[in-house]
Amino acid sequence: MIGSPLPRLDGTAKVTGTARYAFEHRVADPAYAYPLQATVARGHITAINTSAAQAVDGVLAVITHENAPHLASTEDAELAVLQSTEIAFRGQVIGAVVADTSETARHAAGLVEVSYDPSPHDAVFTPDRDDLYTPDTVNPSFPTDTSQGDVESALKQSPVVVDHVYTTPMTHNNPLEPHTTVACWHDDQLTLYDSTQGVHSTRQSLAKALGLAPERIRVIAPHVGGGFGSKGQAHAHLVLAAMAAQAMPGRAVKLALTRQQMFSLVGYRTPTVQHVRLGAGPDGRLTAISMDVVEQTSRIKEFAEQTAIPARHMYAAPNRRTTHRLAALDVPVPSWMRAPGECPGMFGPEVAMDELANACGMDPVDLRVLNEPDVDPESGKPFSSRNLVACLREGAARFGWADREHAPRTRREHGWWVGTGVAASTYPVHVKPGSSATVRFQPDGRYRIEIGATDIGTGTWTALTQIAADALSVRVDAIDLRIGDTDLPPATVAGGSSGINSWGSAVVDAARAFRDKFGTGPNPGDEAQGTTPGNSAGERFAMRAFGAQFAEVRVHAATGEIRVPRLLGVFAVGRIINPRTARSQFLGGMTMGMSMALHEQSVLDERFGHVVNHDLAEYHIAANADVAGIEAHWVDETDPHVNPLGTKGIGEIGIVGTAAAIANAAHHATGIRVRDLPLTADKFLADARR
Amino acid sequence: MNPFEYQRAEDVATAVATVSGNENAAFLGGGTNLVDHLKLGVATPNLLVDVSGLPLDRVESLPDGGLRIGAAVRNSDAAADPRIRRDYPMLAEALLSGASAQVRNLATMGGNLLQRTRCVYFQDVTTPCNKRVPGSGCSALRGYHRYHAILGASEHCVAVHPSDLAVALVALDAVVQVSGPDGDRAVPVTDLYRLPGDAPERDTVLERGELITAIDLPVLPMAARSGYRKVRDRASYAFALVSVAAAVDLFDNGTIRDVRIAFGGVAHKPWRAYRAEDALRGRPTTAEAFDDAANAELRDARPLRDNVFKLRMARGALVAALQHLTGADR
Ligand SMILES: Cc1cc2nc3c(=O)[nH]c(=O)nc-3n(C[C@H](O)[C@H](O)[C@H](O)COP(=O)(O)OP(=O)(O)OC[C@H]3O[C@@H](n4cnc5c(N)ncnc54)[C@H](O)[C@@H]3O)c2cc1C
Ligand code: SF4
């Protein structure tokens, strides 16, 4: 069961269109809400005239700060919806029109007249601002800065130094399913069908904002069409939907953000500027690693991406330093996007390692192997398991790395420069406390498993069923899993690649408790609970997953077009529950990493303060034709320390390192070192050589 | 988004009369561009006259040997037509390089020609744009203009026309057949589009109510050796940064007898490269000759702050296209 490539249990429902996503839940006679958004980046609303909107046939309510209910908590400024006239970023929610049809709501929204008293805004992100500040911690609670040894003098004394600035742009999560909510107040009870990564965490945030006991809110999310972090926390539209529903007691209100609205309202990845300095001996052995990161946050709510974190754990060097500084701007609120920290933070350092390999005349695989640490460089603890070297070696063998010509810009085929590159991946092992599961034996002879986990397209339905079947020693069809509902036992958010580690451990715990209590011949109605066990191994071990990614890149000599005909990843991620859904996670992550490498860039127009390429025709993500050869593999890894299942989490590591591997391959192809993502064609034309 | 009425056109004459008599009416083809604009508030017609069901849905041979493509022919059907594929491969390639299979299945030939610019500010009613609201200003001039014009622009508008189809058509000297309130006329595609000047709100020379009924392709034997080279940010489903439609006819000695070249992604209209063509006639098919041709055409180019790369890219695309057609890249 565990380890078998069981096809997705929800697959048929999804491909036949019967799996209900939030907006599709059938409710009687729904009303539709359409958000109003600020068109200035800072200032105050001086007047808001809703009469024309209200006069439209079919309009049921127009909600603004003038008539919105008072929230119990405005501590989270992002959720303090319609509580004042103040505008903190362009695109901020300033109201909603509720109507009989979504078209009427959208039409009427265009008739609301808003007058502003605008203030000068500041949306200019540069690393040389004089008002950068040091956050107390970086996401979620890591030290902002670290230092060991003496980096400056080590760099001064190092025979080989790599010292460059690398940048990653602002990017947006863009799950396929937009953020949608169906909200209904009925008899003092609020029910929400929400597109969320965590039903319980969503309920918690909303209960706090609205000042309700959590029991009065039910959140349901059986299927979620991706989130990549953007559905991991409640955003403003959720509060808005609840307010709209409050205005229509007994009637459900549906709210779906448009793609354009998603670019202002549901988080994004901050742009990062990464000053990376590596000092090494002529043999490539690192003496110093330094990484100084500058990134942005919104003025009203801090999110400090932990971009320098992976540099703390990757390679051995006696002298080390990492810092994070933030610019607080009048911009939308940044948040989690697949592998926050690790994803952008493995771009600069892994390209720098390639530059170091070049500077030392070394093979970049050998350079990484040489600098493999014995213990976690940051904490000094041993790793519970660390198989980066195995991933590099296996990847090199599978990719055909040995045949690689050393010098860049040596292979040209039919007008295209061709090259290959490598980079490492890493992601921490997270097990979140706080999930519970129930096992109940049913009259039909099956075991009902209940846990409020969510499946955001990752395969939770399937993997948890396998884990339960394994733990109870029954066939998978003897398991009746229920997830995605706050009426089920509480579960943590699907984030930090922690889902299976945390929920799976709770299911295993419940299954063990059940068997202990009832043995193998239970009676209908017998039930037992379990929780995610605590793990003291974290005090003794550093726990991370690792991987290696190899890329082949072609760059057209005359036009600069860049393509990636081959991508190959090898990962060491503990135990694999389901190879089929696991492969899908790796391939999806790598594809998103390729997308980051080649395409993704939210263009924030500083004059206006919003992202102007805010749709999927202009904000490019990788299309099918961009993905040619792509392979994911994993090495066997048994880690008894991480959790009872031995899993490390696989949802995010696939995106980590891909962009660096591709950038390194592009350099090998062309001899042109691009240090600023994305790697668009123009960057290979700036160089005058042809 | 505004409420609007929807009518299915009965015939060409009524459709023309309806739209020319109502300044808030618009023709609807496949709707792949117009419907987006309705949602975004970029277009606010109160009446849509659907012309996609008119009997303009055939590709027919003309008496002189050319081809007539009905305005309601779907982009995917035109691209699959065996005569187009054989005699005008650049046209089929241009169509197939555009949008996605799903969009091409809906998009009509007439609608493709009259699709509007993808300038992000044009599509965002919260920002100034002279093309959308004359006199409001051009946000792209000093904003996000990576995709914008390097040739023929004005300070009022630096947008480019997004159609790939149109680029092939200007290279082929195609002609659009138009029905209007004052009767029918034929407009060469090279004259159909305007440069922005001080009236960027007007993309073409067509008057209100004029309906494109067909596209005529002249007999052009050299088009059998033609191609469309599109340089874009992703491998499919992206508008051109720069594109080149080209056809070449060689003397027996290998020098160039005649050539047709048009650029996309460089101007407010599909850009017929007459100067490059002149520079190539009689020349050998060498990289140097191709380079000279690019120089001749791009001499007057005025790139913007962030699209200087288009000069080199246009040159590269032209050279790559010509090398491909003449076999010099093998
Ligand atoms: C995501 C995306 C990507 C795209 N990528 C590309 C690309 O790479 N290359 C490319 O070339 N195109 C691309 N397109 C644009 C696509 O080609 C056009 O949307 C399509 O061709 C328009 O045709 P339609 O029939 O749907 O026009 P509609 O949207 O129906 O109409 C467009 C305009 O033409 C007018 N019109 C329609 N028919 C006639 C007629 N017979 N006479 C007079 N006026 C008429 C309408 O009033 C309207 O103003 C893309 C579109 C999308 C959505
Ligand atoms: S380039 Fe043209 S379409 Fe774009 S903002 Fe300027 S005026 Fe508008």
Residue B6, pLDDT > 80, answer: yes
Our answer on whether the CB atom of B138 is closer than 6 Å to any ligand 2 atom is yes
Closest ligand by atom to B147 CA: 2
Q: Does B291 touch chain A (CB under 8 A)?
A: no
Tell me: the pLDDT tens digits for B168-226? 999 999 999 999 999 999 999 999 999 999 999 999 999 999 999 999 999 999 999 99
Question: pLDDT tens, A628-640?
Answer: 999 999 999 999 9
Q: Is residue A665 part of a domain?
A: yes
pTM score of the predicted model: 0.98
pLDDT at B330: 62
pLDDT one-digit tens code per residue, A24-63:
999 999 999 999 999 999 999 999 999 999 999 999 999 9
Our count of domains for chain A comes to: 3
Confidence of residue A1 (pLDDT cuts 50, 70, 90): confident
Burial letters B273-293, b for 16+ CB under 10 A, else e: bebbbebbeeeebeeebbbeb
| CB-defined site of ligand 1, < 6 Å | A 617; B 26-34, 51, 71, 75, 98-99, 103, 106-108, 110-112, 114-115, 162-165, 211-212, 239
Q: Which residues partner with A412 through β-bridges?
A: A417
Give the N- to C-terminal CA distance of chain A in Å, as an integer: 56
A213 touches chain B (CB under 8 A): no
Q: Give the burial class of A465: count Cβ atoms within 10 A of its Cβ; 0-12 exposed, 13-18 middle, 19 or more buried.
A: buried
Closest ligand 1 atom to B212 CA: 42
Claim to verify: residue A371 and residue A450 sit in the same structural domain: no
Which phi and psi angles does A667 have, rounded to 5°?
A: -65, -45
**Does B313 sit within 8 Å of A682, measured CB to CB?**
yes
Q: CA angle, corner B115, sides to B112 and B119, nearest 5?
A: 135
Residue A13, min C-alpha distance to chain B (Å): 23
Q: Please report residues of B whose CB lies closer than 8 A to that of A615.
A: 123
Both tokens of A680, joined, read 């668009």
Nearest to A169 by CA among A679, A684, A676, A674: A676
Ligand 2 centroid from CA B243, angstroms: 20
How many interface pairs between A and B have CB atoms less than 8 angstroms apart? 104
- What is the distance between the alpha carbons of residues A668 and B216, in angstroms, rounded to a whole number? 48
**C-beta B157 within 6 A of ligand 2:** yes
Q: B225-326 domain in CATH 3.30.390.50?
A: yes
CB contact under 8 A, A686 and B316: no
Q: Say whether residue B320 is in contact with chain A using an 8 A CB cutoff.
A: yes
Per 3-state DSSP, chain A is made up of helix, strand and coil in percentages (nearest 5) of 25, 25, 45
Helices (H), A127-266: 151-157, 199-210, 236-246, 259-265
> In a mutagenesis test of the A interface, which of B119, B313, B319, B322 is the best target, namely the one with the most A β-carbons within 10 Å?
B313
Do residues A185 and A294 share a domain? no
pLDDT over 50 (residue A688): no
Q: Which atom of ligand 2 is nearest to the CA of B130?
A: 7
Distance from the alpha carbon of residue B128 to the mean position of ligand 1, in angstroms: 23
CATH number at A79 reads 3.30.365.10
Is the CB of residue B263 below 6 angstroms from any atom belonging to ligand 2? no
Please tell me whether residues A628 and A484 are part of one structural domain: no
The predicted model gives B291-296 an average pLDDT of 97
Residues A290 and A341 in one domain: yes
Distance CA(A608)–CA(A32), nearest Å, equals 29
Residue A313 and residue A410 in one domain: yes
In a domain, A682, yes or no: yes
Instruction: Write out the residue range of the structural domain in which residue A510 sits.
Output: 432-534
> Of the residues B112, B177, B193, B231, which should be mutated to test ligand 1's pocket, given the most ligand atoms within 8 Å of the CB?
B112
* Domain final residue, candidates A481, A513, A534: A534
In a domain, A219, yes or no: yes
Rounded Cα distance, A152 and A131, in Å: 24
pLDDT tens-digit map of A60-92 = 999 999 999 999 999 999 999 999 999 999 999
Residue written as token pair 């451990």? A505
Q: Which of A265, A290, A317 is the last residue of a domain?
A: A265
Contact A605, A676 (CB under 8 A): no
- Shared domain for A113 and A256, answered yes or no, is yes
Rounded distance between C-alpha atoms, residue B2 and residue A24, angstroms: 25
Same domain, A666 and A552: yes
Q: Is A111 touching B (CB cutoff 8 A)?
A: no
* B44 contacts chain A (CB < 8 A): no
> What are the domain boundaries of chain B?
1-50, 225-326
- Distance from the CA of B238 to the center of ligand 1, in angstroms? 14
For residues A276 and A403, membership in a common domain is answered with yes
Condensed to tens digits (0 to 9), the pLDDT of residues A474-509 reads 999 999 999 999 999 999 999 999 999 999 999 999
Q: List the catalytic residues of A.
A: 652
Fold of B1-50: 3.30.43
pLDDT digits (tens, 9 = 90+) for A219-257: 999 999 999 999 999 999 999 999 999 999 999 999 999
Where on the phi/psi map is residue A649: left (φ > 0), alpha (ψ -120 to 50), or beta?
Answer: left
All residues of chain A having their beta carbon less than 8 Å from the beta carbon of residue B234 are 598-599, 620, 622-623, 625-626
Instruction: Indicate the burial class of A250 (C-beta count within 10 angstroms; 0-12, 13-18, 19 or more).
Output: exposed
Say how many C-beta atoms besides its own lie within 10 A of residue B327's C-beta.
Answer: 11
Cα of A110 to nearest chain B Cα, Å: 7
Q: What is the pLDDT of residues A262-272, one digit of tens each?
A: 999 999 999 99
Same domain, A260 and A273: no
User: How far apart, in whole angstroms, are the C-alpha atoms of residue A213 and residue B20?
Assistant: 61
Gap from CA of B143 to ligand 2 centroid (Å) = 10
* A298 in the same domain as A352: yes
Q: Is the same domain home to A468 and A587?
A: no
- Give the β-pairing of A479-482 and A146-148: unpaired
B322 within ligand 2 shell (Cβ under 6 A):
no
Cα A7 to Cα A21, A226, A466, A499, A581: the distances in Å are 20, 19, 11, 19, 8
Q: Are A466 and A2 in contact (CB under 8 A)?
A: yes
Residue A2 resides in a domain: no
User: Strands A146-148 and A31-37: what pairing?
Assistant: unpaired
* Pocket lining: B153 vs ligand 2, CB cutoff 6 Å: no
Average pLDDT of span A568-595:
98
What's the distance, CA B235 to chain centroid? 20
Tell which of A513, A534, A555 closes a domain.
Answer: A534
Residue A388 has pLDDT above 50, yes or no: yes
Distance CA A479, CA A449 (A): 7
Residue A95 located in a structural domain: yes
Task: Let me know whether A110 and A219 are in one domain.
Answer: yes
| Residues A292-306, mean pLDDT to the nearest whole number | 98
For chain A, percent of residues with pLDDT exceeding 70: 99
